Structure 1
Amino acid sequence: MTRLLSDALHARIRRDIESRIMSGEWRPGHRIPTEHQWMERYGCSRMTVNKALRALVQSGLLESRKRAGTFVAAPRFHRAALEIPDIRAEVKGQGLAYRLDLIRCDRRMAGPEDKALLRVSDGELLALECRHFADDLPYALEYRLINLAAVPEAGQVDFSVEPPGSWLLGHVPWTEAEHRITAINADPLTAQSLHVPENAACVALERWTWRGEERITYARQLYPGDRYALVAHFHA
Structure 2
Amino acid sequence: MVTCINDALYPETGKAVVTLLRRLGVDVDFPAAQTCCAQPMVNTGYLDEAVPVVRAFVSAFEGYDAVVTPSGSCAGSARHQHSLVARRSGDAGLVAAVDEVSPRVHELSEFLVDVLGVTDVGAYYPHTVTYHPTCHSLRMLGVGDRPRRLLEHVRGLTLVDLPAADQCCGFGGTFAVKNADTSIAMGADKVRHVRDAGAEVLVAGDNSCLTHIGGLLSRQRAGVRPVHLAEILAATE
TM-score bracket relative to the smaller structure: under 0.3
By percentage of residues, which structure has more strand? 1
Instruction: Tell me: higher relative CO, structure 1 or 2? Use CA pairs within 8 A at least 6 residues apart.
Output: 2
TM-score for both structures, normalised by structure 2? 0.26
Q: In terms of Rg, which structure is larger?
A: 1
By percentage of residues, which structure has more helix? 2
